[in-house]
Amino acid sequence: MPASDLSRAALSTVRVWLVGGGKMGGALLTGWLDNGVAPDNVTIIDPAPGRVPQGVRLAADPAAPLAEGPAPDVLVLAVKPQIMDDVLPAYRSLGDGTTVALSVAAGRLIAGFEAALGAGTPVVRSIPNTPAAVHRGMTVACANAHVTETARATCDALLGAVGDIAWVDDEALIDAVTAVSGSGPAYVFWLTECMARAGVEAGLPEALAARIARATVSGAGALMDQAEEDPATLRRNVTSPNGTTAAALDELMNDRAGLGPLMTRAVAAAARRSRELAG
């Protein structure tokens, strides 16, 4: 979902430091540049980044950009959660209330960023997912009390450049968000694998089973994205009474052993692990 015209105007002048130029950082950067962020307003801080687009500045460590100034409007923290504690102290001088710290790291609480950067630091915690790489991501974000409306709109535009964006006021909901959308693409990929395997068991050649499973899942997703009907209606629309789809759904919709109870347990397990990682 592209940024709005207003967001494009705001993005054209925003200064961004991207700490971590890996897959998620790279996906965000591509979205920003496609939606109006000026390359020379972006600095990637990473000793070994991926592709660096023309015009974007690169620093191996934060010392150079901190010395050069000016401070960024948004400090995007896109490093792995397990090294975040080693990275944050270098940016404490930015915790004066003018730079927004925007995290895309799972399992890292707002309170942790406030402790590392300063109690008055505006912090936005967000959970994007991997379809951001093709600008079809789903991101949910939560802001602390120091984030102004202007800063929130800027973060909304940056995150919205790679897909859909929603906000929650209760940070505790982020664990459930992580379990549904953050981890969700893996569930869909596993479903595709299972469909392909089942096709082989039913007699299809392996390559054909893999091809039609992949195309069916991606095509159904595209249809759902464009349709006005909700998923339940779409499901009913393709299910003839006593037909082949109904026979399969009788298995998948079993109250005790079907996909519904299994997915509930899976999401609960992911949310529980998210809470454990957050400490």
pLDDT tens by residue, 36-85: 899 999 999 998 888 899 999 999 989 889 998 799 999 999 999 889 99
Distance CA 44, CA 42 (A): 7
| Whether the predicted pLDDT of 5 surpasses 80 | no
Which CATH number is 5-174's, of 3.30.420.240, 3.30.950.10, 3.30.930.10, 3.40.50.720?
Answer: 3.40.50.720
pLDDT tens by residue, 29-47: 999 999 889 999 999 999 8
Feature table: binding site: 78-81
pLDDT tens by residue, 177-192: 999 999 999 999 999 9
279-to-96, 149, 252 alpha-carbon distances in Å: 26, 29, 35
Secondary structure E strands in the chain: 16-19, 42-45, 57-59, 74-77, 100-103, 123-127, 137-143, 163-167
Q: Domain coordinates of the chain in residue numbers?
A: 5-174, 184-278
If you average pLDDT over every residue of the chain, what do you get? 93
Feature table: binding site for NADP(+): 78-81
| Whether the predicted pLDDT of 276 surpasses 80 | yes
| Whether the predicted pLDDT of 111 surpasses 80 | yes
Would you state the pLDDT for residue 2?
45
109-to-78, 143, 151, 176, 254 alpha-carbon distances in Å: 14, 11, 19, 14, 37
Q: Which residues contact 22 (CB under 8 A, 6 or more apart)?
A: 46, 49, 50, 78, 79, 80
Q: Which residues contact 41 (CB under 8 A, 6 or more apart)?
A: 13, 14, 15, 16
Residue with more model confidence, 17 or 48: 17
Q: What's the topology of domain 184-278?
A: ProC C-terminal domain-like fold (1.10.3730)
Contact of 174 with 125, CB cutoff 8 Å: yes
Distance CA 96, CA 185 (A): 37
For residues 147-151, give the mean pLDDT: 94
For 159-198, b where at least 16 C-beta lie within 10 A, e where not — what string? Answer: bbbbbebeeeeeeeebbbbbbbbbbbeeeeeeebeebbee
